[in-house]
Structure 1
Amino acid sequence: MCQIIVPQLVILANLFISTKNALAYLKQLLHKLSADITAVPAALQQSHYPALDGLRGLAILLLVFGHFGVNDYTRHYGIFFNSATGVNILFVLSGFLITTLLIKEKLRNGSISLKYFYIRRALRILPVAWLFLLVLAGLNHVFELHIRLFDFIAAMLFFKNMPVQQEPYTAHLWPLAVGVQFYLTFPILLVLNIRWYTIISLAIVIVVPVVCVINHFAPAVFASNAVLHLLARICNYMFWKGPVVILIGSVFSLLMFKGIINPEKLKVNQLLSLAILLVGIIVPAKTFLFYTKYLSEYLSAILIGLALVIAISQKDILSKILSSAILTTLGMLSYSIYIWQELFSGTRNLQPWMQYFTQLPLWATIGFKCIFLAVIVSFSFVFEAWFLKLKDKFHYTRSGADKKAAPKN
């Protein structure tokens, strides 16, 4: 009898200890989440992160390769450049950087200037985007592209992510619309109350993917109830495509500030963050063997955020790769590249201004696209650089002095 009872008691005791430890950890976690942010963690004390410029450069490479037809060659070797993953990397970066910079401003000055924040965002986004639309209006007239006035208005006012009829020349501005709409809402909540911003962000990051997955695999669960059906539609159309991914980046920043993620204490392998990022890039590709809608994209965004955090905290292989001159330069040019690349996207369905190259091999067509894009981006960046210099003047400090010491965004 004792031989039966004693092992069971040991199992129960171990279970009790494990439960007690789990509850203690959960209590500590909740305490950290609700605690005020009082200091900038060591990994976030820099004013500039070269590795993040490089990550932005990698994202734009994924996007351009996917759009320019490189997959027609690489798919024979099982390699696929997913342009959507490039966009998601940019989303994660945006959420992480915006949250980091605003919290650092609050800690430095005691408050956040929304006025200066929106001036900086406007100077960063509007000039190049509106210059592109102006050039596109000229092309629309010369080549009779039949782009509607509505499409120009939707692009100029940043609601291209809405479920409206799209045309190819401005359709790529939907991530810009998502970003602008995020800037107009969530930073306000961050300014008002960081604790509530944390709670709401975590709730959205956890609940929305769960609702989307259930609605995808078991649609009857939400179709049977009007309220649940509305919830599913809101999650799908308002939060899934963009906002959730941006908030994942934001949550990683919050968790670092609150000491829940402390990458400096991690003793990680030099290749760990590189492996995590590669998995994050491979998982959401529809050619991936275990691809699962919603789950793959969600896991990818989390892995990208985790790789980002490790890369800026450790001098590992990924950090060195991302800090290379080529990727950081591409990162600096990434916004102009993203805006103008749509004029040359597609493989055989070439735009009217590319019709003279239709008889060339695909590799030659891709080469000409890259050359033309490089020339346009060179001129565009000169235009963009003037506004970037102007943007750097709008950093709020309580004394109004030493603006050059303010972090760059």
Structure 2
Amino acid sequence: MSDPHRSTVDEADKATERQSPDVRAALPLVPSPAQRHRRGGRGFSSALRGGRVAGLDGLRTVAVMLVIVYHVEPDPLPGGSVAVDVFFTLSGFVITRLLVAEYARTGRIGLGSFYRRRWLRLVPAMLVMCAVIALLSVALPLPLLDGAWVAAGLAAASVVNLVRAGESGPYTDITAPLSHTWSLGVEEQFYLAWPLLLLVLLRQATARSVLGWVAALCVLPVLWRTVLWDPTAAHRIYNGPDTRADQLLVGALLAVVLARLRADDPRLALLRRWAGRLCWPALALLGLIAWQVPITEESRWNPVWYTVGFLAVAVLSATVVAALDLCPRSWPSRLLSVSVLAWVGRNLSYGMYLWHYPVIRLLSDLGVDGGRLLPAGIVVTVAAALASYLLVERPLLRRDRFRVRPLEPVATPARAPAA
């Protein structure tokens, strides 16, 4: 899973923190039109607004806990995998906000720096988890670990989703020990393609045109799923990076919209008001889906869910994300901004997602079952995530932070911002 995952930590704030104090002081919160011309912002006047949003970090914690409960007790929450959909939209939002902010500030997107940060944030922790599972498969004769080294290799290569998409019947055991990494594959494949496409749009189109293109891209996966839909194509649709792209792109569209609107734009005030009003209904509908819709099983919901359903959930998720970003004093924001929730979402949610599935299955193979499995699984998962954060993730990110040089604005040809 966005970032299912702390892969979606508010990186725009971190990118600004990496700048030296002199450089940060030289970058105004809302650049003037002349500054936007020189820096290549092309109408994204508010791209630098904001920073870390504690409510979004808390949302990550709630989402990853929902996934854990779903994998232990799927019967009470047959639609618990909807949390993955929330992660996708959240990932698209934060990553795009980072990219647009950098372009508005400097007139370019440092693709090398972006991919390096993504690699350091996601891959080392993944490789450690895969290595541990591969070693355990050699050392312990447990059902889960039979042939687990193959699944570990596929997960390390971020292709579990592609393997699962090619299976028309029941899923085989080839990816079973690490089958949850399918969502990480979808996100990482999106991260490879989206910055390149976004950079082309930002260079070639006005801000208004970028909005239109991103909105159009959100619709294409829906049309493609409608063409593909057949009960035998459920795995293809559920795991494909192309068929799940709209959920990430809806988050990207929200980021572009917010970057497009100036702080004093009445449309931003209107968006803030309606996002605040619709946040609770959106959360309630997402909860209803988790409670009542068997997403990964055959049911009467499948034709709707596997065509327009993914987009509908992305819109609900984007509504929640917009409210948390724009309405920090609302009750949903206050609840999700509780320090413990925010800290776990910011620092441990990615590790918890990585480790929870093999931990739960290992405990089950070792005889931990019934009412003990969920609390034991949460405790061991949090411990593994904390070790991953302290020993792998944080040291690498700190080392990279010291290596990053301040970004200097670059000159670009003057072009009047779009109305």
Does the 8 A contact of 1:113 with 1:396 survive in 2? no
1:321-365 per-residue CA deviation (whole Å, 9 max, x = no partner) reads: 11112321221210010001012336xx9543x32x34xxx2222
SS at 1:170's partner residue? helix
Partner of 1:256: 258
Q: 1:263 to 1:273 in 2, by over 3 A?
A: farther
SS at 1:311's partner residue? helix
Q: Distance in 2 between matches of 1:62 and 1:141?
A: 31
Find 2:220's aligned residue among 195, 204, 207.
207
Question: How do 1:223-242 and structure 2 match up within 5 A?
Answer: 238-239=240-241, 241-242=243-244
1:338 and 2:353 matched: yes
Q: Distance in 2 between matches of 1:269 and 1:251?
A: 15
Q: 1:306 to 1:262 in 2, by over 3 A?
A: farther
Does the 8 A contact of 2:251 with 2:318 survive in 1? yes
Q: Distance in 2 between matches of 1:138 and 1:316?
A: 48
Q: 1:199 to 1:319 in 2, by over 3 A?
A: same
Q: Distance in 1 between matches of 2:81 and 2:69?
A: 11
Per-residue deviation, 1:392: 3.3
Partner of 1:186: 194
Residue 293 of structure 1 aligns with an amino acid whose one-letter code is W
Q: Distance in 2 between matches of 1:387 and 1:81?
A: 37
Question: How do 1:260-279 and structure 2 match up within 5 A?
Answer: 262-265=267-270, 266-268=272-274, 272-279=278-285
Per-residue deviation, 1:257: 2.1
Partner of 1:125: 122
Q: Distance in 2 between matches of 1:261 and 1:172?
A: 43
Per-residue deviation, 1:87: 1.0
Question: How do 1:265-304 and structure 2 match up within 5 A?
Answer: 265=270, 266-268=272-274, 272-283=278-289, 285-286=292-293, 291=301, 292-294=304-306, 295-304=308-317
Number of aligned residues: 339
Partner of 1:319: 333
Q: Distance in 2 between matches of 1:163 and 1:173?
A: 11
SS at 1:161's partner residue? helix
Q: 151-160 or 265-274, which moves further after superposition?
A: 265-274
Q: Distance in 2 between matches of 1:272 and 1:293?
A: 22
Q: 1:391 to 1:97 in 2, by over 3 A?
A: farther
Find 1:371's aligned residue among 366, 379, 394.
379
Does the 8 A contact of 1:280 with 1:300 survive in 2? yes
Q: Distance in 2 between matches of 1:203 and 1:158?
A: 27
Per-residue deviation, 1:88: 1.1
Q: Distance in 2 between matches of 1:207 and 1:119?
A: 29
Partner of 1:160: 160
1:140-172 per-residue CA deviation (whole Å, 9 max, x = no partner) reads: 011232225543322111111113554321211
Q: 150-159 or 112-121, which moves further after superposition?
A: 150-159
Partner of 2:246: 244
1:278-298 per-residue CA deviation (whole Å, 9 max, x = no partner) reads: 213423652599943233332
Q: 1:237 to 1:201 in 2, by over 3 A?
A: farther
Partner of 2:51: 47
Q: Distance in 2 between matches of 1:249 and 1:45?
A: 17
1:18-51 per-residue CA deviation (whole Å, 9 max, x = no partner) reads: xxxxxxxxxxxxxxxxx9433115xx61221111
1:329 and 2:329 matched: no
Partner of 1:38: 44
SS at 2:341's partner residue? helix
Q: Distance in 2 between matches of 1:96 and 1:269?
A: 15
SS at 2:163's partner residue? coil
Q: Distance in 1 between matches of 2:56 and 2:336?
A: 7
Runs of 5+ consecutive residues of structure 1 not aligned to the other structure = 1-34, 220-228, 401-409
Q: 1:147 to 1:287 in 2, by over 3 A?
A: closer
Residue 359 of structure 2 aligns with an amino acid whose one-letter code is F
SS at 2:161's partner residue? coil
Q: 1:47 to 1:85 in 2, by over 3 A?
A: same
Find 2:132's aligned residue among 109, 131, 135.
135
Runs of 5+ consecutive residues of structure 2 not aligned to the other structure = 1-40, 165-171, 410-419
